[in-house]
């Protein structure tokens, strides 16, 4: 555990210390857009905070690769041909480049989608792919190279856009992803330990780096934000979170492993479902936005003020309280899922928990949906971001030259 703590501290320290320099750089190149009529924030705030997060990621991975115990795990040829660090560095580099150009100049949604697929393709090229799919009865289905490629790319693209989609308030995306990473870390440690495989794993190392990146950025990004992570950061942490999902299948050997059936009674489903379950909030928000917009006869890419965080703001919660409410919801849900999996429960309990959580989310949105046709629900999105608060192929605002881009914009973004 000391090595994981060291990795997280290094990633956090580098990210935290570099953010002020990145902020100065963003201001000098003009990556702090003018306030638009539809924006809620009132102060021009620079973005590109993701550059500092990428540096933190690289520092954390470098230190991890040099450690006595975790280093050999990252060099294990069973996952990524032993080049996990290089694969993440290159894929992250592609994402950061695309995000930087989008944050600075603005970029078409489909070009960004192409960049996301290219980054996922790099992971595949280094054989950092999903190796098998779990079944509820404890068996697994091995994937051929074609299915490994398709499913891995799908996981990466969905995770990137889900994180980018929820990035609508100061500190919101970084906090939610940090909670997701903590849950995945705890689950992985419990799982490998129960199988007598020790507590060392590639997945745990990656999530430790991700936790550090988010914690190092949050002090600068929590309301009132001094800088936004931008698409540069939102897409990067989505990529790293997706990589933690993919590496689970190379980290844990279920077949015949001791304790495989003791950790839970739906033994191998959780490693794949847990990160996705923790992200049920951004994923549900994405799905509801598409349904909402199309039901109003609008494009699914059209911006609006119907997101979950906007609804909480509209009913009178302050910016900080709204973010803390969503933190609490995510934490309780993640802790419940991890607790149920470790404690051992019937398979039916998991979908019931997810269903109840989704009902709560839908109930939060009903009042705005009923009044939305008159204007509020179909209004402009309260983001200060340029190409969009809902950047990504599933919900992208039309690119606006010189517009702000994210984490997301002060009073309703960050």
Other C-beta atoms closer than 10 Å to the C-beta of 361 total: 17
pLDDT at 150: 94
pLDDT at 286: 64
Report how far residue 70's alpha carbon sits from residue 192's, in angstroms, rounded to the nearest whole number.
14
pLDDT greater than 90 at residue 412: no
pLDDT at 25: 95
376 pLDDT band (50/70/90 cuts)?
Answer: very low
Highest mean pLDDT among 4-18, 65-79, 319-333, 339-353: 4-18
pLDDT at 77: 80
Token reading at 354: 């997810």
pLDDT greater than 60 at residue 183: yes
pTM (predicted TM-score): 0.77
Report how far residue 65's alpha carbon sits from residue 385's, in angstroms, rounded to the nearest whole number.
36
More confident residue, 95 or 69: 95
Report how far residue 182's alpha carbon sits from residue 413's, in angstroms, rounded to the nearest whole number.
23
pLDDT at 187: 80
**pLDDT per residue over 199-232, tens digit each?**
778 989 999 999 999 999 999 999 888 999 999 9
pLDDT greater than 50 at residue 357: yes
3-state secondary structure the chain: CHHHHHHHHHHHHHHHHHHHHHHHHHHHCCCCCCCCCCCCCCCCCCCCCHHHHHHHHHHHHHHHHHCCCHHHHHCCCCCHHHCHHHHHHHHHHHHHHHHHHHHHCCCCHHHHHHHHHHHHHHHHHCCCCCCEEECCCCCEEECCHHHHHHHHHHHHHHHHHHHHHHCCCCCHHHHHHHHHHHHHHHHHHHHHHHCCCCCCCHHHHHHHHHHHHHHHHHHHHCCCCCCCCHHHHHHHHHHHHHHHHHHHHHHCCCCCCCCCCCCCCCCCCHHHHHHHHHCHHHHHHHHHHHHHHHHCCCCCCCCCCCCHHHHHHHCCCCHHHHHHHHHHHHHHHHHHHHHHHHHCCCCCHHHHHHHHHHHHHHHHHHHHHHHHCCCCCCCCCCCCCCCCCCCCCCCCCCCCCCCCCCCCCHHHCC
Other C-beta atoms closer than 10 Å to the C-beta of 375 total: 9
pLDDT greater than 50 at residue 384: no
Give the CA dihedral 76, 77, 78, 81, nearest 10 degrees: 120
pLDDT at 329: 76
Mean pLDDT is lowest, of 40-44, 296-300, 400-404, for 400-404
More confident residue, 134 or 215: 215
pLDDT greater than 50 at residue 391: no
Token reading at 99: 């995000």
DSSP-assigned beta bridge partners for residue 142: 132
pLDDT at 276: 56
Highest mean pLDDT among 62-76, 206-220, 276-290, 299-313: 206-220
Mean pLDDT is lowest, of 123-132, 268-277, 308-317, 342-351, for 268-277
Mean pLDDT is lowest, of 71-75, 144-148, 185-189, 338-342, for 338-342
164 pLDDT band (50/70/90 cuts)?
Answer: confident
More confident residue, 345 or 356: 356
What average pLDDT does this structure show over 56-81?
90
Token reading at 138: 């404890």
Other C-beta atoms closer than 10 Å to the C-beta of 324 total: 14
pLDDT greater than 80 at residue 84: yes
pLDDT greater than 70 at residue 153: yes
More confident residue, 254 or 284: 284
More confident residue, 168 or 106: 106
More confident residue, 234 or 290: 234
What average pLDDT does this structure show over 142-162?
89
Token reading at 244: 């933690």
pLDDT greater than 80 at residue 342: no
Q: pLDDT > 70: what percent of the chain?
A: 63
pLDDT at 51: 97
């Amino acid at each position: 555990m000391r090595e994981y703590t060291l990795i997280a501290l290094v990633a956090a320290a580098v990210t935290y210390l570099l953010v002020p320099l990145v902020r100065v750089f963003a201001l000098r190149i003009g990556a702090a857009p003018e306030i638009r009529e539809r924006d809620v924030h009132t102060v021009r705030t620079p973005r590109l905070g993701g550059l500092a997060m990428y540096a933190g990621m690289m520092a954390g991975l470098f230190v991890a690769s040099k450690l006595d115990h975790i280093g050999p795990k990252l060099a294990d040829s069973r996952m990524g041909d032993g080049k996990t660090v290089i694969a993440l560095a290159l894929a992250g580099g592609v994402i950061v480049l695309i995000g930087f150009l989008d944050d600075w100049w603005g970029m078409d949604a489909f070009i960004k989608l192409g960049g996301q697929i290219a980054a996922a393709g790099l992971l595949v090229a280094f054989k950092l792919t999903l190796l098998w799919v779990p079944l509820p009865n404890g068996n697994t289905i091995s994937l051929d190279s074609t299915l490994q490629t398709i499913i891995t790319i799908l996981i990466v693209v969905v995770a990137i856009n889900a994180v980018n989609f929820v990035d609508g308030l100061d500190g919101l995306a970084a906090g939610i992803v940090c909670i997701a990473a903590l849950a995945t870390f705890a689950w992985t440690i419990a799982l490998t330990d129960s199988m007598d495989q020790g507590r060392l794993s590639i997945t745990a190392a990656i999530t430790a780096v991700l936790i550090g990146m988010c914690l190092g950025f949050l002090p600068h990004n929590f309301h009132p934000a001094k800088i936004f992570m931008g698409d540069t950061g939102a897409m990067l942490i989505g990529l790293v979170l997706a990589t933690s999902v993919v590496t689970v299948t190379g980290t844990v050997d279920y077949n015949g492993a001791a304790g495989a059936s003791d950790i839970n009674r739906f033994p191998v489903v959780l490693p794949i479902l847990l990160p996705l379950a923790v992200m049920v909030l951004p994923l549900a928000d994405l799905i509801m936005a598409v349904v909402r917009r199309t039901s109003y006869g609008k494009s699914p890419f059209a911006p609006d003020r119907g997101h979950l965080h906007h609804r909480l703001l509209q009913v009178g919660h302050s910016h900080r309280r709204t973010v803390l409410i969503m933190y609490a919801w995510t934490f309780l849900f993640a802790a419940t899922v991890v607790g149920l999996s470790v404690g051992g429960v019937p398979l039916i309990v998991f979908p019931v928990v997810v269903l109840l959580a989704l009902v709560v989310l839908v109930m939060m949105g009903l009042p705005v949906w009923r009044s939305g046709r008159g204007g509020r629900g179909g209004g402009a999105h309260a983001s200060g971001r340029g190409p969009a608060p809902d950047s990504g192929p599933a919900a992208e605002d039309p690119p606006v030259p010189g517009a702000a881009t994210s984490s997301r914009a002060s009073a309703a973004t960050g």
